[in-house]
Structure 1
């Protein structure tokens, strides 16, 4: 009796090993180069293993890779067994055992249900096949994408989720290594990376109108190759693509969806504890100060802070974190005098770049004329501005100024203002704070 694997089984086993290695690598956030440095295995060898091209991986090679991945005993045993015989539960290179689900969010959804409902229906019905969520970093694009993906998964869609390298992963990683690896392969293919010329095989066996949904979170749209999308859609009938990005892809068929900060009404018109920004702040407050039960004065301070920070979720979370070392009245005073000091949370920053760095990067990506306009609007000192102000400051034509305001809205550095019941806009406080922090203070001699 022969105990060897057939050629087909051998191919499936090697492919399953590559999927397992890639899944572990992506789970801990390593690139192939970083894993190569940690394991002393060449980048090419790791790439070949992950692509299923290495037919006979050595035991020492697998041991070094396991060391580089810092695998525990059980995961190490599974990797070694996959190297010998393939996954017990694997049936092929990329095909997940079940319909894959999106990652689990870290925070509850606040006031985005109407937006999620619109996105879900557009993607479910096929009215839109390519949607890009844009807005300033930290505004909640990932959380909205997670909610939309969860609703589509409940409706029967396979969800493939990929967080771009370097992006802040604002969710718990999924537990489906095959689905994670397949999503990464799709992202590589759309970026045209290296050996990603071959189309990844479809994981979906079901009605064409039920998926898959491919989510690329934090993607740089400038890296995507549009002609490859059509080829991927031919391989994945019914494919929907949902992007979260700093800038639009600007390709045919793209549905641009602007994610704005939460509503934070002016407290001068009355305190609204049910306002979305206030609700988010109260939720954060309970996490850092569960002993504090806000009274009317506290609610007034909270409403003012939320309005001053324009309802920007990450700015509100950062400000709330400071309540571990100061009270609400002191926090309001800091926001009023020096909001730049509160743009980063009081924690150790392990969650990624601070808000000030993110806003500075967003400003640097704008054309020079747009940055000059933002500087002029901030220097003017007015809380809000209108189209006429842009006409006056730039001296350009009406169509040009209209396009500039649209660009600034899409970038997220300004938001619409409805406080006065007119078509007005305002530069976000976090943007003003980042600009003021970037201006060097005058020297003592000066």
Structure 2
């Protein structure tokens, strides 16, 4: 049998989580995770094992293996999701998106004013202040109950889903299921339930369970009937600076924003597109760089201070495009104004480009990933670590 620490580390890395991220998701201290992974602690409490399994969103088989490695009998666990991290229980900069997504799920149909949400066609019937509103089309039995959060890798789709699931469970009393699409989840039809998955769900689940809602986190829409697409964009400037400082204070607690470094902090979030994962990894460099020096390094190569996981996530986003989308993105990366088109809408839904006044622009990190020459192994599932030209 594999040691608990080794198995925990394998699952964490496979999920693309840092120790701090897993600690936030699972309500377990970073020190406890570090001690478990290095073997300093060999007999975790049953509650710790449960929280870690929930934070990792393990399927039943993997959960049982983790429980067995920890010396615990496998069994059915509570449905409570990992609680959101951060001050006041809300993830930094996503208050509006979390409220809109919660409203969509609890109302059971599209609601006015939810930022960024669209139906599967991508149409937005009305705009107020530049934000889209959700479609209010007539509902069938499944319409409005399947929501797909789309966006580029590292934008925080899973983190938003965790936030909303926690709100539904703790404030509204819903049951929460973390389940892979390959298995059939056990749904209690006596209570409202939300299933969170990063796989294409079986649409029959919504027909069979009328009180079920499904939230999918994906790079692109699933295309299933009745789907509502919720594109998640990068953080705005102020929110991005707040999130960057939150992470910086974990490595430099005494760091303070001041007039002398304010321009550099704003420059950092611009270079990193306000992408939460990029901001988190860049914050680690504050241990050795001043904001000004880090900004100089970013301007020469914005991917330089990020993690291999984020690089792979960006390339995985690129690999999902068809030939037309790839060609359009390459043209946009070279500064061409490509106008408005269905492929452009698709790039927006995937979070690879964004509106900049009357034009569209490619995210800075995406442009760097497009241009960066890559050689070496392939990602899992045969995704090449190269940009097709």
Q: Common fold, TM-score beyond 0.5? A: yes
In structure 2, distance between residues paired with 1:343 and 1:280? 16
Aligned counterpart for 1:137 among listed residues 130, 141, 153: 153
Could you tell me whether the CA contact under 8 Å between 1:356 and 1:430 is conserved in 2?
no
Structure 2 gap ranges (5+) = 1-6, 13-59, 110-143, 376-389
Q: Please report how far the alpha carbon of residue 360 of structure 1 lies from its aligned counterpart in structure 2 after TM superposition.
A: 1.1
User: Which residue is equivalent to 1:251?
Assistant: 224
RMSD over aligned Cα atoms: 2.8
User: Which residue is equivalent to 1:403?
Assistant: 342
User: Which residue is equivalent to 1:335?
Assistant: 298
Aligned counterpart for 2:287 among listed residues 309, 324, 329: 324
Q: Please report how far the alpha carbon of residue 292 of structure 1 lies from its aligned counterpart in structure 2 after TM superposition.
A: 2.0
User: Which residue is equivalent to 1:35?
Assistant: none
Q: Does 1:112 align with 2:94?
A: yes
Instruction: Give the TM-score normalised by the residue count of structure 2.
Output: 0.66
Greater fraction of residues in helix? 1
Instruction: Give the TM-score normalised by the residue count of structure 1.
Output: 0.58
CA change 1:286–1:68 in 2 (3 A) is: closer
Counterpart secondary structure, 2:241: helix
CA change 1:237–1:424 in 2 (3 A) is: same
Q: Please report how far the alpha carbon of residue 204 of structure 1 lies from its aligned counterpart in structure 2 after TM superposition.
A: 4.7
CA change 1:125–1:27 in 2 (3 A) is: farther
Could you tell me whether the CA contact under 8 Å between 1:130 and 1:254 is conserved in 2?
yes
In structure 1, distance between residues paired with 2:80 and 2:367? 39
In structure 2, distance between residues paired with 1:70 and 1:239? 33
Structure 2 matches for 1:255-334, cutoff 5 A? 255-264=228-237, 275-334=238-297
In structure 1, distance between residues paired with 2:316 and 2:310? 10
CA change 1:371–1:66 in 2 (3 A) is: closer
In structure 2, distance between residues paired with 1:439 and 1:240? 40
Counterpart secondary structure, 2:226: coil
User: Which residue is equivalent to 2:81?
Assistant: 102
Q: Please report how far the alpha carbon of residue 70 of structure 1 lies from its aligned counterpart in structure 2 after TM superposition.
A: 2.3
Counterpart secondary structure, 2:147: strand
Q: Please report how far the alpha carbon of residue 302 of structure 1 lies from its aligned counterpart in structure 2 after TM superposition.
A: 0.3
Q: Deviations over 1:232-256 (max 9, x none)?
A: x42x331111111111111111010
User: Which residue is equivalent to 1:356?
Assistant: 311
In structure 1, distance between residues paired with 2:99 and 2:156? 15
In structure 2, distance between residues paired with 1:188 and 1:68? 21
Q: Deviations over 1:30-65 (max 9, x none)?
A: 9xxxxxxxxxxxxxxxxxxx89xxxxxxxxxxxxx9
Larger Rg: 1
Q: Deviations over 1:377-422 (max 9, x none)?
A: 2223xxxx6xxx215xxxxxxxxx52111110111111222xxxx3
Could you tell me whether the CA contact under 8 Å between 1:261 and 1:312 is conserved in 2?
yes
Q: Does 1:368 align with 2:368?
A: no
CA change 1:241–1:325 in 2 (3 A) is: same
